[in-house]
């Protein structure tokens, strides 16, 4: 589990942070992926990543 520092009353406290982040670049794709050819491959990658990540964090 990742821990983030937060400030409370001027004193830093650590509390659990359930956030998960990952980065994957897809060659030949811009920011608006849903309107580009090949979006299905990216959607499948995201669905697989979500499935794996949600299972690991449960």
Confidence of residue 14 (pLDDT cuts 50, 70, 90): low
Domain boundaries, the chain: 25-58
What is the reported pTM?
0.62
Q: Which residues partner with 8 through β-bridges?
A: 11
Mean pLDDT of 12-22: 73
Cα–Cα distance between 25 and 35 in angstroms, integer?
17
18 in Cβ contact with 54 (< 8 Å): no
In the block, which residue shows the tokens 């937060």? 6
> Which of 40 and 1 is assigned the larger pLDDT?
40
User: Taking all residues of the chain, what is their mean pLDDT, rounded to a whole number?
Assistant: 79
Burial class (CB in 10 A: 0-12, 13-18, 19+), 23: exposed
- Amino acid 34: pLDDT: 86
41 in Cβ contact with 50 (< 8 Å): no
pLDDT over 60 (residue 5): no
């Amino acid at each position: 589990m990742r821990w983030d520092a937060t400030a409370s009353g001027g004193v830093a406290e650590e509390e659990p942070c359930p956030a998960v982040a990952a980065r994957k670049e897809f060659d030949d794709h811009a920011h608006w992926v849903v309107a580009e050819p090949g979006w299905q491959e990216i959607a499948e990658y995201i669905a697989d990543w979500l499935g794996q990540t949600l299972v690991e964090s449960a």
